[in-house]
Structure 1
């Protein structure tokens, strides 16, 4: 209907809650790891809920997709900023992670718009099996995103405490440490996918440049 108010679509209302929870997490990150982590993880989990709500209620919108992506990127970047403060020796690695994440998503979205596609997830991914499997398999996408966020969240928690100790004798270590170790390969793999996405997006943009230059050359003949 033409008089629908996109701002109050259920998925977008969930998105606003995500933003509020993320802001609370940012505020408490320097001092209260329990509050910060709880709000951060709940905000991340709601990312899956708003997508289901959008499909179930037929309330998908460009605004909602934009809100979702911006919230994801800002949340991860703010957490990485805190990790730079907590683990200064690894600042450059966290900065690289931020660069890859932002650059790959931004250029990918821009290449989608240049091709006249309203969503970066609707692009023709047939030429790239990695991106095709990543975006078209919701389980893989969820596992990658959840594993990546848990990895950084556990690094954050480990600054305060290793977590409940697992009784393994001389090999005893904290639960947060275990989760961090398990999720580390997933986080590294997601960064690899982001690099593939960055390359594919650059290829899409340069292909448009080539087409335009060919068209101009044809007109000049």
Structure 2
């Protein structure tokens, strides 16, 4: 019964919904781009809902300025691995098959995985708060939910837009982006805002990767010094 109760934690149920939505979305990503975009973005929004549910129903350990500490390993998987990594990774892989050079999206995928996985190990190795970071941008990102939300949403919106506006399977990325920005329309404004937020997020990823790597190295050095 105890095992069943954990499976039925509300944040975990939200996680199941996210997985289901993404499975349906990616199954129609080429045949129905509009449906894909709606399902994918809704699943992304659910990523914020599970954290709120965890705090609301006391199914979360604690809240810090760095991350939400997950009360269950299953919740940890949904929040930090599936919703933030796997779903975005799948979309980046699809875009790499549509646009040239495909290395752009594969590089973004590598950066995203490296920064978030190092951040995960940083959390395990040390409870050092992000307020101690020397980067004002890093502190602003993790200290202001609105700013963080804007950057995260911008990335997902940008990738969705790129999927929607692609007409062929071998589009030139720069040509498509420049052409879309030159058109005076709500879409071009949304694209510009998304690119700005996306750019900040990539800078944050680099800072996060370097900061997390430094903390992990210091943690290993401290362990070596503590050995008899």
- Which range, TM-score by smaller chain? 0.7 to 0.9
1:12 aligned residue: 12
TM-score normalized by the length of structure 1: 0.82
Q: Which runs of 5+ in 2 are unaligned?
A: 61-70, 169-181
1:165 aligned residue: none
Q: Which runs of 5+ in 1 are unaligned?
A: 118-122, 162-170
State which structure, 1 or 2, has the greater radius of gyration over its C-alpha atoms. Answer: 1
2:143 aligned residue: 136
Residue 90 and residue 212 in structure 1: after superposition, are their counterparts in 2 closer, same or farther (change >3 A)? same
Aligned pair 1:126/2:137, yes or no? no
Choose from 49, 57, 66 the match for 2:77.
Answer: 66
1:25 aligned residue: 25
Q: Where does 1:151-166 land on structure 2 (aligned, <5 Å)?
A: 151-160=158-167
1:78 aligned residue: 90
TM-score normalized by the length of structure 2: 0.80
Asked whether the equivalents of residues 144 and 186 of structure 1 are also in contact (C-alpha less than 8 Å), the reply is yes
Residue 172 and residue 97 in structure 1: after superposition, are their counterparts in 2 closer, same or farther (change >3 A)? closer
2:119 aligned residue: 108
Aligned positions, number: 201
Deviations 1:19-71 (A, max 9, x none): 11111111111221011111001101111122211111112223313212222
In structure 2, distance between residues paired with 1:31 and 1:4: 38
Residue 209 and residue 7 in structure 1: after superposition, are their counterparts in 2 closer, same or farther (change >3 A)? same
Q: CA RMSD in A?
A: 2.2
Asked whether the equivalents of residues 147 and 183 of structure 1 are also in contact (C-alpha less than 8 Å), the reply is yes
